[in-house]
């Protein structure tokens, strides 16, 4: 009986995760966009070419926005010495990633974090930061600039996304918190401001982007829950 009970609990957990993204699959991107305009006060719809960048990861491999074409990109900016909001932002991204990675979206979404303090945030620092905050390297990358580039290069990239990081004499940076969503064609489609937005709303928006070429079925098929419960040995 025990293995059956554990199987049942595991399947129910998967069903709960899938239920989070189910609304987007039934509606067009336009419908989801309008719904979020109405109910998510921290959601800002955008439709413009995402500013390009070419940076490097912790192992000095070159990563540019152009090589991420074909995937939805969830982008944020932090610096690892930030004592307050940056760690909270990283943990929020990890929470979103965990939800997405328990669905088929895992293969369609890339999470990108760019440091605004490349002088301090070396390769080992980047790797440790991701691990400390629970980010999955399977589809997450932490980027910095080449050491030969100006130290403020990534802060200028942040400015092109509408986000300013201002460094004081002590090395701290005053800045806002924004999570950017870029579609498969390299277009900036949304900004989620601050840390108070509902995580599920960003997941639903990303899901709508991954399903944007799909059309709803004219007749409803059995839902995920119905299919799942039909397999359970109740």
The rounded distance, in Å, linking the Cα atoms of 208 and 186 is 16
DSSP string, 113-166: EEES-TTT--HHHHHHHHHHTT--TTSEEEEB--TTS-TTHHHHHHHHTT---E
Structural domain that includes position 38: 2-213+224-231
pLDDT score of 1 more than 50? no
The more confidently predicted of residues 234 and 80 is: 80
DSSP-derived letter for residue 220 is P
- Cβ count near 184 (within 10 Å): 18
Is the sign of the CA dihedral 138, 139, 140, 144 positive or negative? positive
Mean pLDDT estimate for the chain: 85
Q: What is the pLDDT of residue 27?
A: 65
Are 199 and 43 in contact by the 8 Å Cβ rule? The answer is: no
Decide the pairing of beta strands 140-143 and 109-115. parallel
In degrees and rounded to multiples of 5, residue 122 shows phi and psi of -80, 175
User: pLDDT of 136-169, one tens digit each?
Assistant: 999 999 999 988 899 999 999 999 999 999 988 8
Q: For residue 134, is it left (φ>0), alpha (ψ between -120 and 50) or beta?
A: left
Are 65 and 73 in contact by the 8 Å Cβ rule? The answer is: yes
Residue 177 lies in a domain: yes
Q: What is the pLDDT of residue 193?
A: 98
The rounded distance, in Å, linking the Cα atoms of 196 and 209 is 22
Residue 58 lies in a domain: yes
> Residue 186 is part of a domain; what is its CATH number?
3.40.30.10
DSSP string, 196-218: -S-HHHHHHHHHHHHTTT----S
Q: What is the pLDDT of residue 147?
A: 86
Residue 205 lies in a domain: yes
Residue 45 lies in a domain: yes
The continuous run of DSSP H or E covering 39 comes out as helix 29-39
User: pLDDT of 110-139, one tens digit each?
Assistant: 999 999 999 999 999 999 999 999 999 999
Q: How many domains does the chain have?
A: 1
Q: What is the pLDDT of residue 161?
A: 98
pLDDT score of 196 more than 60? yes
Residue 77 lies in a domain: yes
Residue 29 lies in a domain: yes
Confidence category of residue 67, pLDDT binned at 50, 70, 90: very high
Residue 218 lies in a domain: no
pLDDT score of 178 more than 60? yes
Q: What is the pLDDT of residue 163?
A: 96
The rounded distance, in Å, linking the Cα atoms of 162 and 52 is 13
């Amino acid at each position: 009986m025990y293995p059956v009970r554990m199987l049942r609990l595991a399947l129910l957990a998967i069903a709960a995760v899938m239920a989070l993204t189910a609304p987007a699959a039934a509606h067009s991107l336009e419908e989801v966009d309008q719904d979020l305009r109405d109910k998510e006060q921290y959601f800002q719809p955008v439709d413009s070419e995402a500013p390009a960048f070419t940076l490097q990861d912790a192992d000095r491999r070159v990563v540019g926005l152009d090589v991420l074409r074909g995937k939805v990109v969830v982008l944020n900016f932090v610096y690892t010495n930030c004592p307050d909001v940056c760690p909270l932002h990283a943990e929020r991204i990890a929470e979103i990633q965990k939800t997405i990675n328990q669905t088929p979206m895992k293969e369609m979404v890339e999470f990108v974090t760019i440091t605004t303090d490349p002088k301090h945030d070396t390769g080992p620092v980047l790797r440790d930061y991701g691990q400390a905050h629970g980010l999955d390297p399977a589809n997450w990358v932490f980027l910095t600039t080449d050491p030969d580039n100006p130290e403020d290069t990534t802060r200028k990239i942040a400015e092109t996304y509408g986000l300013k990081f201002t460094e004081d004499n002590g090395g701290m940076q005053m800045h806002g918190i924004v999570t950017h969503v870029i579609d498969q064609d390299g277009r900036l489609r949304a900004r989620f401001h601050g840390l108070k937005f509902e995580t599920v709303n960003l997941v639903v928006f990303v899901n709508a982007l991954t399903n944007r070429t799909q059309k709803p079925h004219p007749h409803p098929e059995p839902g995920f829950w119905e299919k799942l419960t039909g397999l359970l040995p109740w």
